[in-house]
Structure 1
Amino acid sequence: MIALLRRLLLAALLALPGAAPMATAAPDADPGTAVTQNPISGSFSDTYADPAVIRGKDGWWYLYATSDPLHEAPSEFGLMHIARSRDFVDWEYLGTVFDEADRPAWTTSSSFYWAPDIRYVDGRYVMYYTVTDTVAEPGPWNFAIGAATAPTPAGPWTDTGGPVVAPRPTGDGGYFNTIDPALLSASDGKRYLYFGGFHGGLWVTELDESGLRAVGSPTQVTVGDRYEGSFVVERDGWYYLTASSANCCAGPVTGYSVYAGRSRSPLGPFTDHEGVSLLDSRVGGTQVLAQNGNRWIGVGHHTIVTDVAGQDHIVYHAIDRDDAWLDAPGGINERPTLIDRLDWIDGWPVARAGAGPSDTPQPAPVTASSLGIVSGAPASNDALLGDWSAGTDSVGDGGAVGLVPAGGEARTREKAPKDVRVEADVRVSGAFSVGVARSGRNGVTVTVDAAERTLTVTSTQGRRVESDTAPLPSRYGGDEWTALSVEVRDGRVVARLAESRLGDADAEVALDLPRGAARSRPVVLATSGGPAQVDNLTVVEAHEPVTERVAEPETGDVLVDESFDGAAPGDGWEWVRPSPSVTVGDGVLRWPLESVDVVGAGNTGPLLLRTPPPGDWIAETKLHLDLGTGTIRNYQQAGMIVRVDDDDLLRLGDVAIWGTRQVEFGKELDENGALRWGAHLGGPVAETMWLRIAHTLDPETGEHRYRSASSRDGETWRWGATWTLPADTTPTIGLYAGGGATPATVATFDWFRLYEAR
């Protein structure tokens, strides 16, 4: 009875004419013509970290950021920021989420609010965020997850009065990192909140129906010392957990980057493309985004957003290696917001097909419609004909909308492309359909039936009728705006219904089409059983996916082959701080680990170095190093090193980092008298590893660029981040080991080789 009354009330609201006769409005600008230039936040801020994005029902794209000063000094410390854009090119800064006067009462007067995650839940906007300390759990860094709600993406924001996820004591007087929330409304009907960080790992908890409180016991989904800043999307029957690794904020040596794992369940276990679990001590993770040697380093803490053509984009922060700090207050990294295309290749997400962050103009996300449609006011001109009138959203933030009456049908005046993507925010009281490639009975129809609670795709080609249906979850309500997308491309139709259109799914249905079914014809909107409201309507050519990765370094002829088959390394090698414990014999270099290091001011570690050839080359070594698993053996390691001097170097090694074993590619430099160290984290590792460093010269500046790679079998390589060294230096290359003598461990190098790069 309640459901029936709800539908009747919705039908009455939708049937209201909105009192607005059709008024002529200018159509959207040509889609796909806008261009972005990183950083996209540069027009209104100097730093804009931990970005989150949502398209509001008003048609604007809203961009949120963590609590930070907005500009170089003088600048007030803002408690999370809001900006908006129509096209990701021109931005308008709107202000902060909270002010000092309206801090949530359950947090302290000194609390910071970090890492906002924005979603549309049950007809309102919900922002999840990190609280750094709470009144109920006194003590330093007793992190919790809070939430605030608002009727519009711009606010005003009302805190929910308590934590979504409370602080989690460690039992020894400290707290686990209950930080960096990310919501997923999954097609199984449940809402999940992912949270956590390096100290304690990433976790997921189910939320109650309101989406504002955790219920049940959380599930750990990554090992404790590797990931933070999670974001999860549902795609092709998989749940993809993407997250950042390494130090976010090490200034000019920040190696932050993004990785992925996937699972058939929102609760995991999540594994990478080689099947290595993100829960393993020898931790897995498929690289999504890493620095590539241009100005941008420390690329991470991201959101994934889909444009109206169906192309995904990754929105993230980064650091300009030549301008790493805000001038004041001191110690704050300058982390503006960037955006780049996100491709799906062989079932895995990767930024720009593996090219990494861009520093040149790039095509902007497609946000406008073709066919003369005004997406934010779709009934304001004559781009659609038939049963179609203009109205106003009287209960939400949709603004001008289009109304299709019960039993009505409207169609675009112009034909849509053969490969097309149609998207709209819809309110449905009965059944609402989108028809593409329709001619008579033939064509493709996607139907949202609010009464039957189904999403159905039907293809009709003569007597051949094929159909598939997915149920809608209990949280779905036709009286709330929901994003419906219909994409026809390469002989396949995919329909998705989603609350926030951020990788979430109320339901998704895909259907292979018979030959010839996809045609260039008008798009048809139709209703039965009740009226429907339509907003943010776009009809554009479907994006063309990138399906091949950019080329990765390959080895050519061998230039140097040190097989350690004598009593000492061959010609060309030089020891720095030699240790008598290091020996050569039986075709290997045996290097017992000692409590020495070359990072920091001590510079006590031995090094075996040689001068590499000019030009481009690849260095490679085979290393056997058993660091065990799970136990804390900080920071035993061995691998390759590139050295200008003891305070200007790069280091690639197999390293024990707390309970994990990881490939670390780090950089040390002297920044105005202060030694800085930061690293990119890769892997996974094994007892026997192959390591590579590929060297190139920047053709314009002569700067040295070094890219890391690792392998567990010598055949399958994972290429990682790129560090740089100045053009006026002559770095050497070689081997190192150290980090701790307990437990007693020996690194064994089978050989060291230098190859031509091709």
Structure 2
Amino acid sequence: MRTLLGISVLLASLVAVPSPASAQAAPTYSNPVSAGVVDTFPDPTMIRARDGLWYAYGTQNPVFNSKGEDGERILPILRSKDLVTWEYAGEVFTPETKPAWHNGARLWAPDIRYVGGEYHLSYSLASGDLGLATAPTPTGPWTDHGDILPAATQSSCPTGHIDQAQFTDVDGAHYMYWGSYDTICVARMNAEATLVEGTAKQIARGRRMEGGYVVRRDGFYYLFYSDAGCCSGSFSGYQIKAGRSTSPFGPFTDDEGVDLMELTGKGAIVVGANGNRWAGPGHSGFQTDLSGQDWLVYHGISTDDPDFPPIGGGRLAGLSKRPLLIDRLDWIDGWPVVRAGAGPSEGAQPAPVASYEVGGAFGEGTLAGWRAEGGGWSAKTDQDAHGYASHAGPGTAYLATTGRTRSADVRAQADLRASSGAAGLTLAHVNGNNHVVAWLDKDRGALVTDVVIGRSRGEQVTALPAGFDFGAWHNVVAELRGTELTVQVSDDQLGDAIVEQRRTIPRAAARSGSVGAVARGLADADNVGAARLYTPVTRRVPAPKPGRLLPEYSDEFDGTAVGPSWQWVRGPAAGVKVADGVLSWPTQNAELYQATNTASVLLRDAPEGDYTVEAKLRFAPAQASQQAGILLYENDDRYFKMAHSALPLERGNGAVLQMSEFGKEGERPTTTPPIAVANQPMFGGPAAETMWLRLSYHHDAANDETEVRAATSRDGERWVRNGVWTLPAKDKLRIALVSMNRAGAVAEFDYVRTYRD
């Protein structure tokens, strides 16, 4: 399973990858980035802290099982200088410090933010409540604030009350997103972001939907979420998908315009399994490196080592190992996608840019290597920022790097605060009479950019939200690409800028130069630096297309009976007929699931080599469990299925979801005890009464594995490509049709066509 189905790996290798320097000298990383540090790190979230380091937080899990520890760490913490080399940095709670109100519940899915000068870590209780702990540093000490989701808010959101993530909007308002199995909700928080208030609004629902996380970009709010199930080892069907809206309250739609509240599957797949070692990629966080390149932070399950043994003397059984992964997140045609659609990475990849070309973090509490233009600068330290630069004095003073950026296209940033006057970030800096500056101007209550060329100045002013705390640290990022300048102010660089300003500057000002801090009055600066601006990837990896039609393995159903190329298992099924170019098959009260193998299966041979099977299906199930579709079938206990399935919505008062269900069934030998026959789904794009279904077969000879990818379409032209299921190769697969689970609907197959890949 070390090759992507078909030609995807080759195509992925051709996608241009941005590099701040020579490609030969670029550092690399390999997933999982938590390897050798912890055994697992589920549901990761990440932040760059005021000390200039990155911190990651994960779900309570047995992170040191391989080291002989038969227990769990409660919300474990990792720390890194470069996003790829990590060390263990502690845990949020220990058994001794765990608050009594948890009542022994396990703690899941933390989310980390920086609010009002403190680190806010929200978390879920397995029992279904949301907690909050705050701390002055990213590793504590933590103060717990109890349950932050009132009963009245819970009652307006029919979901599992877990998997929360905070978001701060441009007006400074705070929101909380949460939900699991099968609805995601949102509600406002109080001004301090310590309590969820008001009535919750449902914004998304789907089969096993959970793990919502919102990022704002280019005027849209993007809701990242996972569906299909996180934790079944190599049978985990988790994928990350996205919807977008022009409001934090929705409506959110996928890339085909389907509202995430519609009772159907959804597209806009950000990342899914691609046929290499990673199954179940899901539950995402978000980071941006120093070049401006975004990265998806998520977990995956290695099919080489997917399952823990029973933990704690058998108290915890069936846990999957879900280590920490990161991969480049591209934005193509307005939609996020990992590695241009190539999926989770395996092997060496270009690493995030984690060091400035010029600049630094004042980590030694010294201003060595910086040049002051004007007086009043000194070095100070505190427990969170460690070293930082502080200014106190009259007039305007600069503290600039002695070196210059090599390129005019740069991403500069600084952490700033101003007790009085203003604190700023200067870039393209030659001297006080030639530079570009972004001010947090307390006197004007605004973000002010100023382009200074000799005696010429050009200001642009954008008001900051009412109540903006200039005395707390905020991050200011300025990206200069050509003559286009974009400045964002945020608390934590997590895709939730409080304010953004864009402008075009004169070409004479768009130059390489120094970077630095600038101050009027009492102001502080830290983590001041610049790196060459990333080059965005703008084209997706091309999707494989079926080749020539293989008529001998296809059927247009032009006759009056099922043709001789087909054979029945437990058939012929009652009511099947062929007429007017359609095979019509009423659904059966029968099943093909684990030990229950009572449904009829209509089979025909498949060709040698790689191929794609496509069927056009008309099907309108009205009751839960009715399904029809195509299979690649080895036997009753080993197959791959792509079906239009009607599935119940949990807590949906009888509502039924129309789903594109891509399932696999087979042995799962890595559990304790081994599972003889396991079955789990992935979920594809939106379903419709008329659908086109595809299953693509590939034999990974190097690992002797069968790889199958699914795709669905509602018009036969635009396809949603699903992830890849794999099983060890055994006997030959055959092409199959089913119509089953519950009587009362009729499946009409217009054709079955097989193509050479």
Check whether the contact 2:359–2:515 (CA below 8 A) recurs between aligned residues: no
Counterpart residue number, 2:11: none
Counterpart residue number, 2:751: 751
| Secondary structure, counterpart of 2:286 in structure 1 | strand
Cα displacement (A) at 1:752 = 0.7
Counterpart residue number, 2:732: 730
Matched letter for residue 204 of structure 1: V
Residue of 449, 455, 458 corresponding to 2:447:
455
Cα displacement (A) at 1:361 = 1.5
Counterpart residue number, 1:99: 94
User: What is the alpha-carbon distance in structure 2 between the residues aligned to residue 424 and residue 461 of structure 1?
Assistant: 22
Matched letter for residue 526 of structure 1: V
Alignment of 1:214-225 (within 5 A): 214-223=196-205, 225=207
Check whether the contact 2:129–2:147 (CA below 8 A) recurs between aligned residues: no
Matched letter for residue 431 of structure 1: A
Deviates more, 1:187-196 or 1:509-518: 509-518
Matched letter for residue 724 of structure 2: T
Change (3 A) 1:378 1:717: farther
Change (3 A) 1:341 1:486: same
Residue of 85, 90, 100 corresponding to 2:85:
90
Counterpart residue number, 2:42: 49
Residue of 70, 73, 84 corresponding to 2:63:
70
Q: Deviations over 1:274-331 (max 9, x none)?
A: 1111000124341101000011101101101111111111111111123221123231
Residue of 656, 675, 678 corresponding to 2:677:
675
Deviates more, 1:121-130 or 1:507-516: 507-516
Check whether the contact 1:317–1:335 (CA below 8 A) recurs between aligned residues: yes
Matched letter for residue 425 of structure 1: D
Residue of 446, 471, 484 corresponding to 1:479:
471
Counterpart residue number, 1:190: 173
Alignment of 1:5-16 (within 5 A): none
Cα displacement (A) at 1:438 = 4.6
User: What is the alpha-carbon distance in structure 1 between the residues aligned to residue 234 and residue 153 of structure 2?
Assistant: 33
Deviates more, 1:238-247 or 1:280-289: 280-289
Check whether the contact 2:517–2:525 (CA below 8 A) recurs between aligned residues: no
Deviates more, 1:445-454 or 1:266-275: 445-454
Change (3 A) 1:751 1:118: same
Q: Does 1:335 find its partner at 2:322?
A: yes
Counterpart residue number, 1:24: none
Counterpart residue number, 1:488: 480
Residue of 410, 428, 437 corresponding to 2:428:
437
Report the identity percentage: 39
Cα displacement (A) at 1:565 = 0.6
Counterpart residue number, 1:111: 105
User: What is the alpha-carbon distance in structure 1 between the residues aligned to residue 171 and residue 731 of structure 2?
Assistant: 57
Change (3 A) 1:372 1:236: closer
Cα displacement (A) at 1:65 = 0.8
Change (3 A) 1:662 1:374: same
Q: Deviations over 1:130-155 (max 9, x none)?
A: 1233xxxxxxxxx1111011111101
Cα displacement (A) at 1:88 = 2.2
Counterpart residue number, 2:227: 245
Counterpart residue number, 1:206: 188
User: What is the alpha-carbon distance in structure 1 between the residues aligned to residue 153 and residue 527 of structure 2?
Assistant: 41
Matched letter for residue 613 of structure 1: P
Counterpart residue number, 1:423: 413
Counterpart residue number, 1:518: 510
User: What is the alpha-carbon distance in structure 2 between the residues aligned to residue 624 and residue 466 of structure 1?
Assistant: 62
Q: Deviations over 1:600-624 (max 9, x none)?
A: 2111111122222222222111111
- What TM-score do the two structures reach when normalised by structure 2? 0.89
User: What is the alpha-carbon distance in structure 2 between the residues aligned to residue 693 and residue 255 of structure 1?
Assistant: 16
Residue of 116, 119, 137 corresponding to 1:152:
137
Check whether the contact 1:621–1:691 (CA below 8 A) recurs between aligned residues: yes
Counterpart residue number, 1:662: 659
Q: Does 1:542 find its partner at 2:533?
A: yes
Q: How many residues align?
A: 709
Q: Does 1:307 find its partner at 2:289?
A: yes
Matched letter for residue 433 of structure 1: G
- What TM-score do the two structures reach when normalised by structure 1? 0.89
| Secondary structure, counterpart of 1:252 in structure 2 | helix
Q: Deviations over 1:132-183 (max 9, x none)?
A: 33xxxxxxxxx11110111111011111133334487779xx9730111100
User: What is the alpha-carbon distance in structure 2 between the residues aligned to residue 344 and residue 513 of structure 1?
Assistant: 25
Counterpart residue number, 1:502: 494
Counterpart residue number, 2:719: 717
Counterpart residue number, 2:582: 588
| Secondary structure, counterpart of 1:106 in structure 2 | helix
| Secondary structure, counterpart of 2:423 in structure 1 | strand
Matched letter for residue 648 of structure 1: R
Counterpart residue number, 1:391: 379
Counterpart residue number, 1:6: none
User: What is the alpha-carbon distance in structure 2 between the residues aligned to residue 342 and residue 634 of structure 1?
Assistant: 36
Counterpart residue number, 2:115: 121
Deviates more, 1:325-334 or 1:452-461: 452-461
Q: Deviations over 1:575-620 (max 9, x none)?
A: 2222132211110011111121212211111112222222222211
Structure 1 stretches lacking a partner, 5+ long: 1-28, 134-142
* Aligned Cα root-mean-square deviation (Å): 2.5
Counterpart residue number, 2:698: 696
Alignment of 1:589-668 (within 5 A): 589-628=583-622, 633-658=623-648, 659-668=656-665
Counterpart residue number, 1:5: none
Change (3 A) 1:516 1:707: farther
Cα displacement (A) at 1:432 = 2.5
Q: Does 1:163 find its partner at 2:148?
A: yes
Change (3 A) 1:464 1:676: farther
